[in-house]
Amino acid sequence: MTMYKEFHRRSIDKRDEFWAEQAGLIDWNKPAEQICDFSNPPFVKWFKGGETNLCFNAVDRHAAQRPNDRALVYISTETDEEKVYTFAELQREVERMAAIYQDLGVRKGDRVLIYMPMIAEAAFAMLACARIGAIHSVVFGGFAAGSLATRIDDAKPVLMVSSDAGMRNGKPVPYKHLVDEACKLAEFPPQKVLIVDRGLDKGFPKVAGRDIDYAELRARHMDAKVPVTWLESSEPSYILYTSGTTGKPKGVQRDTGGYAVALAASMKHIFTGDAGETMFSTSDIGWVVGHSYIIYGPLLAGMATVMYEGTPLRPDAGIWWQIVEKYKVTVMFSAPTAVRVLKKQDPAFLKKYDLSSLKHLFLAGEPLDETTHKWIMDELGIPVIDNYWQTETGWPMLSAIRGIEKTPIKYGSPSFPVYGYDLRIFREDGTECGPDEKGIVGVVPPLPPGCLSTVWGQDDRFVSTYFTLFKDPVIFSSSDWGIKDADGYHTILGRMDDVINVAGHRLGTREIEEAIQAHAAIAEVAVVGVADQLKGQMPMAFAVVKDASRVDSAEKRIELEKEVMKTVDNLLGAIARPARVHFISGLPKTRSGKMLRRSIQALAEGRDAGDLTTIDDPSTLEQIRSALAS
């Protein structure tokens, strides 16, 4: 680990020198006057005085050098559409969208709210904002009108870009009525709404004087030339609201120069993607992975990026691998949940296609269990790299840095602190944990380039949310539990609010889930803490089995439950044994694959399950209710 350690140490000890080198990976209109301005902690300004533009770096410079290379590959298995845009074609479309924005009065610093399905126009919409210095705020298309309205009121956009509908499992998912309802609920609705009509929602309502047809305006601006607006490095590029916020939304504000440099460096050192290659991230633009590694990161590196509308199972479980073969994908990024879904399918789908172009598969978004990690790595025969980060950081905090050193992969571990992050595991009193001691994942400031610069419009909330858990020293708190072993490998144990306190013993739900999943019959599991009068909380498990015949009678369910509990006893001790293990055929998740643990916990405690507008399969909640009643 010598090369990695030296690289990381230099990024901390010689911060300015290190990041000045990384800044050379992007083009600047004006070089930085100061690399790191940390004169007002915990706020930090990176590449102060420098001027750059995200769109220029992602599109224009490549269009000038390699105009006919693939830039954007749009695939929808929902509408059976597939279209490839070269860098030159992408630049033309972005300039047309930018001209539309200017026609509608959008200026530098204005907010544009993007509420769209995974279509090519969504990429144009984001990049056009970056081009003219407008600030985009992308809201996941699965959010309901009330959630959309709160984000409208926080960002106060002058324009919203949306569509008539998305598609999910072959059925249209109307958007426009949600837009209309949100605009009625909002105190500060946008004056204009630009609609991309896909023809999926025939006769959708139009509001006179507000709604504008994208195709009509695009036709007027086919030959538009819109120069880029150079931005000072610290000027905001976008706002992204953290998922699951309650009350007033928390808008993560990202800068421009620091983000561009961080992503360009990550493409080189972490994802090892080269110009002319192809990257396929299976996320959605409504989430941070979609921003960083569908839109900006790959394009900054001169790669083609795949923008995919569909599920991993439509038309069959081989669709992702078919895309890898067809477009010679070299770097793929997905989530552990998606891999667990594929794990339940016929393994022949993984052998059907030529995957020889694929160098790495990266997984992030939730803790990756050892069993799933080993399975997918064995099946693919390539490095599968777990990495850990958050909406707030914008790019990985923990990962193998295989562009610097090919360190061994440890199943279930996102490896080591990424360069730029002085990441440590802390006790609650602010002292540093020793090896194999559970603590809170924190970062000694300043946060590196690319991380949030503040909470939009709420500097005080930025400080109170992230920098007050530890009083001395002041540390950025991730609100995640973690552990570091004697070899320096880290494991994330779940959110601090996913810790169960059983008779004074703190147990991470992740640890119990890992133990349950060690039983050969279990495909997937969620563990939640349920209120208990005697012990404070008790863990309760909801498990999906690989073979339904294992639980097709009451006797078999009882027998398997005993076996699972014995497995937990053996691995963690009786203190971690779940009060019950309920067997169901599916777990409730959002459409982006996040487990709805808080909703599961609420049902287990007899409470309201909360806002379920993003749930993918509502029947899973009914299964939990039935299991609890039995």
Mean pLDDT of the 378-382 span: 95
Q: Best-predicted range by mean pLDDT among 141-150, 234-243, 448-457, 606-615?
A: 448-457
> What is the distance between the alpha carbons of residues 174 and 176, in angstroms, rounded to a whole number?
6
Q: What is the DSSP string of 189-221?
A: --SEEEEE--SSSTT----TTTEEEHHHHHHHT
In this structure, is residue 613 part of a structural domain?
yes
Residue 25 DSSP SS3: helix
In this structure, is residue 492 part of a structural domain?
no
Give 33's DSSP letter: S
**533 in the same domain as 430:** no
Q: Which stretches of 23-105 are assigned E, i.e. beta strand?
A: 34-40, 43-48, 51-52, 70-76, 81-86
Q: Best-predicted range by mean pLDDT among 138-147, 191-200, 488-497?
A: 191-200
Mean pLDDT of the 426-454 span: 96
**431 in the same domain as 334:** yes
**258 in the same domain as 214:** yes
In this structure, is residue 23 part of a structural domain?
yes
* Spatial CA neighbour of 358 closest among 385, 326, 382, 322: 382
**537 in the same domain as 475:** no
| Residue 216 belongs to domain spanning | 2-481
What's the pLDDT at 503?
A: 62
Q: What is the CATH number of the domain that holds 162?
A: 3.40.50.12780
pTM, two decimals, is 0.86
pLDDT in tens, 514-525: 889 999 999 999
Average predicted confidence (pLDDT) for the chain: 93
221's CB contacts (< 8 A; 6+ apart) are: 96, 99, 100, 103
Q: What is the CATH number of the domain that holds 558?
A: 3.30.300.30
pLDDT band at 40 (very low <50, low <70, confident <90, very high): very high
**517 in the same domain as 455:** no
pLDDT in tens, 212-267: 999 999 999 999 999 999 999 999 999 999 853 344 678 999 999 999 999 999 99
**223 in the same domain as 328:** yes
223/594: higher pLDDT = 223
Mean pLDDT of the 21-28 span: 98
What's the pLDDT at 244?
A: 38
Contact assessment for residue 282 and residue 324, using Cβ atoms and an 8 Å cutoff = no
Contact assessment for residue 369 and residue 412, using Cβ atoms and an 8 Å cutoff = yes
Mean pLDDT of the 456-472 span: 92
**360 in the same domain as 214:** yes
Name the least confident of 200-209, 238-247, 316-325, 601-610.
238-247
pLDDT above 90 (res 65): yes
In this structure, is residue 494 part of a structural domain?
no
In this structure, is residue 430 part of a structural domain?
yes
pLDDT band at 506 (very low <50, low <70, confident <90, very high): low
**467 in the same domain as 518:** no
**161 in the same domain as 238:** yes
In this structure, is residue 486 part of a structural domain?
no
**516 in the same domain as 471:** no
611-615 contacts at long range (C-beta below 8 A, 24 or more positions apart): 611/144, 611/146, 611/147, 612/588, 613/142, 613/143, 613/144, 613/147, 614/140, 614/142, 614/143, 614/590, 615/588, 615/589, 615/590, 615/591
> What is the distance between the alpha carbons of residues 249 and 155, in angstroms, rounded to a whole number?
10
pLDDT band at 536 (very low <50, low <70, confident <90, very high): confident
How much of the chain exceeds pLDDT 70, in percent?
A: 97
What's the pLDDT at 494?
A: 77
How much of the chain exceeds pLDDT 90, in percent?
A: 76
Peptide bond into 367 cis (omega under 30): no
- The CA distances from residue 516 to 377, 546, 588, in Å, are 21, 13, 18
Mean pLDDT of the 389-410 span: 96
Kindly report the three-state secondary structure assignment for every residue of 367-385.
CCCHHHHHHHHHHHCCCEE
**520 in the same domain as 468:** no
Q: What is the number of structural domains in the chain?
A: 2
**440 in the same domain as 566:** no
pLDDT above 50 (res 291): yes
In this structure, is residue 61 part of a structural domain?
yes
